[in-house]
Structure 1
């Protein structure tokens, strides 16, 4: 399965489906290290994608998406807070689901959970909710984008704002087009930097000062890769090779994510947290879609 995913024969959505099939019918023999493996593989894949992007155009795309980013993150955290209280979900689970929806899915949850001293059950619920919705987004977003005739820029912005995890953002945008992939990756990684201020805010909200905050270092390497590809001509000689490896790594990442969505995780999510995740996702997806169709070209 791994070898097939690393070949060009399998697309990211198909790889995710293959992983889901393995999780339901065979089971993952190394489930305890699956999340860490996908986290590391995704980071290196994203860095590799930087070698196929132009720094100047990517910077402009990031600037275009900053207003959408600020408004959507703030709005999602506020709505998520009140929704969690209404649905009577424990405060930490609700906050992790909101942070995962607002910023960058599993990476944000992994960064914030030790800061607020979340329990394993609360982390699993939040991750499960996000990964389930990520799987749906990978298939649904390109279909909606084509149905609404969204431009490459519009789809890139929309997917970066409305899809939780970077892996699914890159998978969906890559399927839509090269320009959409460039816009989506840049905006999503700029959005991921919000992990830092939100994590600091979390220490005050949950009164857990003194805990270390994980800084997403790979974003800096992604930017260096773009700069090298843009300003150093000799890099372009092998950039195609590096981006090819990165795309294969991303496909494998989605396969492993699918392998981690076993029945136990799906059952542990629970009804109310899933409802919160779906409603939050619906709000941010709908409002972001309206915004990019109204203001982005």
Structure 2
């Protein structure tokens, strides 16, 4: 009896907060160090940015020495919660006013280009045999906003680190191609500053590459391109909601096929709307609203944007540390070809839609 009372009075064992912090330090510290190096590379080469060096350096570190089990908790923290928090902070860079200033003439080009890109991703992906999450990531990354879109969609669909790394690398390759070729295309077609800004904002993926391409054309083009790019980023929200609903539907079908109880199947088949909305997207919208009504001081917007980009780099560095190199080799060149076809599709559709809408 006394032994039983002594046992019940003993506080439950388990890791304390301090132990949990110590557990994540090795992996998180490694991801932070890689992200710091990648950020330095991005400052030296702005066109390159920091996301791609983060992934590549993470993969390189993994090749040189495989991080052991002590690093796993910190790497998992960096590749998931840190990534989701970065998406919330990205909302501080948008406002309702910026959306309104883009104008009705810009929206048809943005929405039309996005619709054509996603349709082409589904069609070309099936033809090339690139299916599943990798096709989704390349399509969304090309159609919306590159690495940021891939970062937002990855936790929604539960993408593998190898798919994320391949998609990021593919998007980066065609960002560089756009920076090199788009100004020449604009001059060849005699595009105005505003027209080229719309072209760059809808057909280039990463923000740094949008700025690089548009700034080479002129300051007015650069300003308009950045606004278009920010508005284009809003498409992350409906895309993530749609993908979340699709994932839930597939999970429900799999559970029913596995013979689960009818009550549970009914519960999964009709989920509440709020359960379909990832919490970080709710945070993203709330931050955008807060920025719109002036709750976020202007002086804080640039630091918050820089912090969001650094957190994305930390997360992508962690993803690089967990990337399965063998899986990348097995993927072959078909995903890269898919990226090329989508890049051409987005480029031509942006130009064609501008011509149609005047």
User: Within 1, Cα distance between the matches of 2:270 and 2:163?
Assistant: 23
Which residue, 47, 72, 75 being the options, matches 2:91? 47
**What does residue 117 of structure 1 align with?**
none
1:193 matched to 2:238? The reply is yes
> What SS does the corresponding residue of 1:217 show, helix, strand or coil?
helix
1:127 and 2:164 are equivalent in the alignment: yes
Q: CA RMSD in A?
A: 4.1
Bigger relative contact order, structure 1 or 2, given CA contacts below 8 A and separation 6+? 1
Residues 49 and 242, structure 1, Cα contact 8 Å, conserved in 2: yes
Query: Any stretches of 5+ residues in structure 1 without a counterpart?
Result: 115-119
Alignment match, 1:87: 128
Residue 36 of structure 1 is matched in structure 2 by 80
Query: Would the aligned equivalents of 2:241 and 2:276 in 1 still touch at CA under 8 Å?
Result: yes
Partner-residue secondary structure (3-state), 1:13: coil
In 1, distance between residues paired with 2:270 and 2:85? 29
The superposition leaves residues 46-85 of structure 1 with CA deviations (integer Å, 9 ceiling, x where unpaired) of 23324xx6x4343231644432344334333433333233
TM (norm. structure 2) is 0.59
Match in the other structure for 2:21? none
User: Are positions 1:286 and 2:348 aligned together?
Assistant: yes
The 10-residue stretch of structure 1 (71-80 or 251-260) with the greater mean CA deviation from structure 2: 251-260
Q: Which residue of 1 aligns with 2:14?
A: none
Q: Which structure 2 segments of 5+ residues have no match?
A: 1-32, 216-221, 254-268
Which TM-score applies when normalising by structure 1? 0.68
- Which of 98, 116, 121 is the matching residue for 1:75? 116
1:276 positional shift: 2.4
- How far apart, CA to CA, are the structure 1 residues paired with 2:105 and 2:284? 18
Q: How does 1:1-297 map to 2 (within 5 A)?
A: 1=33, 2=35, 5=39, 11=46, 13-16=48-51, 18-20=53-55, 22-27=57-62, 31-36=75-80, 39-50=83-94, 55-61=96-102, 63-90=104-131, 94=135, 97-103=138-144, 104-111=149-156, 113=157, 123-124=160-161, 126-147=163-184, 148-149=186-187, 153-154=194-195, 157-163=198-204, 168=206, 170-175=207-212, 176=215, 177-190=222-235, 192-197=237-242, 199-200=244-245, 208=253, 209-210=269-270, 212-215=275-278, 216-229=281-294, 238-251=297-310, 253-254=312-313, 256-257=315-316, 260-261=319-320, 264=325, 266-292=328-354, 295=357
- Asked whether the equivalents of residues 19 and 258 of structure 1 are also in contact (C-alpha less than 8 Å), the reply is yes
Please report how far the alpha carbon of residue 252 of structure 1 lies from its aligned counterpart in structure 2 after TM superposition. 5.4
Compared CA separation, residues 84 and 246, structure 1 to 2 (3 A): closer
Determine the C-alpha separation between the residues in 2 that align with 1:63 and 1:213. 30
Give the aligned partner of residue 30 of structure 2. none
Aligned residues: 275
Q: What is the rounded CA distance, in whole Å, between the counterparts of 1:134 and 1:65 in structure 2?
A: 23
CA contact 1:62–1:190 (8 Å) conserved in 2: no
For residues 42 and 119 of structure 2, the distance between their equivalents in structure 1, rounded to whole angstroms, comes to 42
| Partner Cα distance (2:155, 2:109) in 1 | 24
For residues 153 and 193 of structure 2, the distance between their equivalents in structure 1, rounded to whole angstroms, comes to: 26
Q: Which has the larger radius of gyration?
A: 2
- Alignment partner of 2:80: what SS? helix
Offset of residue 131 of structure 1: 0.9
CA distance in 2 between counterparts of 1:193 and 1:160 reads: 19
1:157/1:183 contact within 8 Å kept: yes
